[in-house]
């Protein structure tokens, strides 16, 4: 018995003297962890791609060894979990970085000149795409092909409004597509005409008439666009992005070549769900860098294009209340089928009628397909009817929203909807107060993939035209920490990944950003000007501000 006791004491002494594991990196500074149980820390340690300790200095410092890189942040800087952008058209955003830039065209003349200047830089026959024009900049008048035909006689032009729900074709593009003034209207879309002649503007489903003749990008072009997109969002603190649809092969090539520096949740369209299901059954859902499983569809269009579905007509168009892009019966059948396969539904709905239609379908499918952790999402959820706000919590539906849209659309939404309906437009606070899970993103290319601007928008609601210094619909403002959670832990939950990322906790991936200022302690108006100093994904630095 005595020998056994001595042996036990010896073992305990040896264990006490054993060397503590060594971290690769130790960071000391102010850290917002995103962990609701312990939101603040002063140090964290990283080994490989994983956080091994987060807490006070004395708690984490035992991880420092001879080979540990120790980083002491100056007072005033802030560490947060890496931002997760829950709604992107990621590779398209990369293509936009090198296309004609029209978002800042303030007049018709500037719009035309930007296109003319760009046309002079590319060979004849090259399609001019993208653009992201905003007709509100010059009073709301829609552009026409007659504005640009003279400066683009040798280039097909197919440029989209910034919301992505309408595009302008010049005469050269119409010729390539074989479209004349006799073209018939398209269900779920609209074709603008004046005196029976095409203006060149096509909305929503009608855009397919031109899309079908646009030449596809090459693999090299796709890879370059993806690399450009990843580097750009890294400079904004984005470590993960949810891609709404397309470019699977580009993502898979990057994963196979170890080129990914942004974690991707890769989606597809609802009409392609069977191919996604087959891929998952044969290859699995992927890994922490590239995951599959989400399915995207549209209920309606957008506010700016007058194509979102509302119960009442637009205030500025009394005979127009928008329309469905997908008939409700067809939408129900598709959602039920994809949900039966265990896929993740992420459906676009913007108008109050479109949102209620989708909630009704989600509720019906839940009852018919039986209980499971499905995390249905509504993308955008911009103009919800007050009576439907509590339903998101009840049904477990995630509000996937883009706060930048609020300060963009806030410039003209009251003109389109009237004051009363705007009270629950971008209803961040009402939804959070009702217990809904709200996850934030950008909708890039439609809006910039800049989470700090998104946080600024959600907290201040100051519209882009600076005409609402106290905030547009100020009762829907939220706190900085609420906005941070929507960009981190809630966003990870929105892709079933909250156990591996979204907060800075031991055992989770070392995805984080270092900000030059503590955005929880400064004037919220200054948040959009704060710089990202460093972005780290899986313990590796992918961006450093120069």
Could you read off the pLDDT of 419-446 as tens digits, one per residue? Answer: 999 999 999 999 999 999 999 999 999 9
Pairing of strands 157-161, 128-133: parallel
How many other CB atoms are found less than 10 A from the CB of residue 21? 12
In the predicted structure, residue 17 carries a pLDDT above the cut 80: no
Q: What is the pLDDT of residue 218?
A: 87
Contact residues for 421 (Cβ-Cβ < 8 A; gap 6+)? 312, 352, 383
- For 76-86, the pLDDT digits (tens) are 999 999 999 99
Domain ranges across the chain: 2-75, 95-211
Q: CA–CA separation, 467 vs 107, rounded Å? A: 19
> Which of 484, 477, 487, 485 has its CA nearest to residue 407?
477
Contact residues for 175 (Cβ-Cβ < 8 A; gap 6+)? 156
pLDDT confidence band for 324 (50 / 70 / 90)? very high
400 - beta bridge partners?
379, 439
Taking every pair of Cα atoms in the chain, the longest distance, rounded to a whole number of angstroms, is 105
In degrees rounded to 5, what are phi and psi of residue 40? -125, 145
Angle value at C-alpha 34, between 84 and 536, nearest 5 degrees: 50
Superfamily (CATH H level) for 2-75: Urease, subunit C, domain 1 (2.30.40.10)
Model pTM score: 0.88
CATH 3.10.310.70 fits 95-211, yes or no: yes
Q: What is the pLDDT of residue 18?
A: 53
Q: CA–CA separation, 85 vs 242, rounded Å? A: 6
Looking at the chain, how many residues does it have? 546
Is the fold of 2-75 the same as that of 95-211?
no
Pairing of strands 100-101, 128-133: parallel
Q: Alpha-carbon Rg of the chain, whole angstroms?
A: 25
State the average pLDDT for the chain.
Answer: 94
Q: CA–CA separation, 92 vs 228, rounded Å? A: 11
């Amino acid at each position: 018995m005595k020998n056994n006791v001595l042996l036990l004491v010896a073992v305990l002494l040896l264990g006490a003297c054993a060397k503590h594991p060594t971290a690769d990196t130790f960071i000391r500074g102010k850290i917002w962890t995103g962990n609701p149980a312990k939101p603040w820390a002063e140090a964290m340690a990283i080994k490989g791609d994983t956080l091994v300790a987060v807490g006070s200095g004395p708690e984490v410092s035992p991880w420092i060894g001879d080979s540990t890189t120790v980083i002491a942040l100056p007072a005033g800087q802030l560490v947060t979990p890496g931002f997760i952008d829950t709604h992107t058209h990621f590779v398209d955003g990369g293509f936009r970085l090198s296309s004609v830039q029209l978002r800042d065209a303030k007049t018709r003349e500037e719009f035309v000149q930007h296109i003319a200047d760009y046309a002079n830089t590319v060979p004849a026959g090259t399609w001019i795409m993208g653009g992201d024009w905003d007709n509100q900049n010059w009073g709301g008048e829609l552009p026409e092909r007659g504005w640009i035909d003279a400066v683009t006689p040798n280039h097909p032009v197919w440029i989209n409004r910034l919301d992505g729900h309408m595009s302008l074709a010049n005469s050269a593009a119409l010729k390539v597509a074989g479209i004349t003034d006799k073209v018939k209207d398209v269900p779920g879309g609209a074709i603008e005409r004046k005196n029976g002649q095409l203006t060149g503007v096509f909305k929503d489903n009608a855009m397919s008439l031109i899309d079908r003749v646009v030449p596809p990008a090459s693999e090299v072009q796709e890879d370059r666009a993806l690399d450009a997109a990843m580097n750009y969002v890294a400079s904004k603190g984005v470590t993960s992005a949810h891609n709404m649809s397309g470019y699977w092969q580009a993502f898979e090539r990057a994963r196979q070549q170890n080129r990914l520096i942004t974690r991707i949740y890769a989606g597809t369209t609802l009409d392609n769900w069977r191919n996604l299901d087959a891929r998952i059954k044969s290859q699995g859902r992927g890994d922490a860098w590239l995951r599959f499983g989400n399915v995207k569809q549209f209920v309606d269009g957008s506010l700016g294009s007058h194509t979102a579905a509302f119960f009442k007509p637009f205030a500025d168009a009394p005979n127009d209340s928008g329309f469905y892009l997908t008939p409700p019966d067809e939408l129900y059948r598709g959602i039920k089928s994809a949900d039966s396969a265990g896929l993740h539904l992420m459906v676009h709905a913007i108008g109050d009628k479109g949102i209620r239609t989708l909630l009704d379908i989600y509720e019906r499918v839940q009852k018919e397909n039986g209980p499971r952790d499905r995390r249905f999402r509504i993308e955008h959820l911009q103009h919800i009817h007050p009576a439907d706000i509590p339903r998101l919590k009840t049904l477990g539906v995630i509000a996937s929203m883009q706060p930048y849209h609020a300060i963009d659309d806030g410039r003209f939404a009251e003109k389109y909807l009237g004051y009363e309906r705007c009270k629950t437009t971008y209803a961040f606070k009402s939804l959070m107060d009702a217990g809904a899970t709200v996850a934030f993103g950008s909708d890039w290319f439609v809006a910039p993939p800049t989470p700090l601007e998104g946080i600024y928008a959600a907290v201040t609601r100051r519209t882009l035209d600076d005409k609402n210094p106290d905030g547009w619909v100020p009762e829907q403002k939220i706190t900085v920490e609420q906005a941070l959670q929507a960009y981190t832990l809630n966003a990870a939950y929105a892709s079933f990944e909250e156990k591996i990322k979204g907060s800075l906790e031991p055992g989770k991936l070392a995805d984080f950003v270092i900000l030059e200022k503590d955005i929880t302690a400064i004037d919220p108006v200054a948040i959009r000007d704060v710089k990202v100093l460093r972005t780290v994904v899986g313990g590796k630095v992918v961006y450093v501000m120069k």
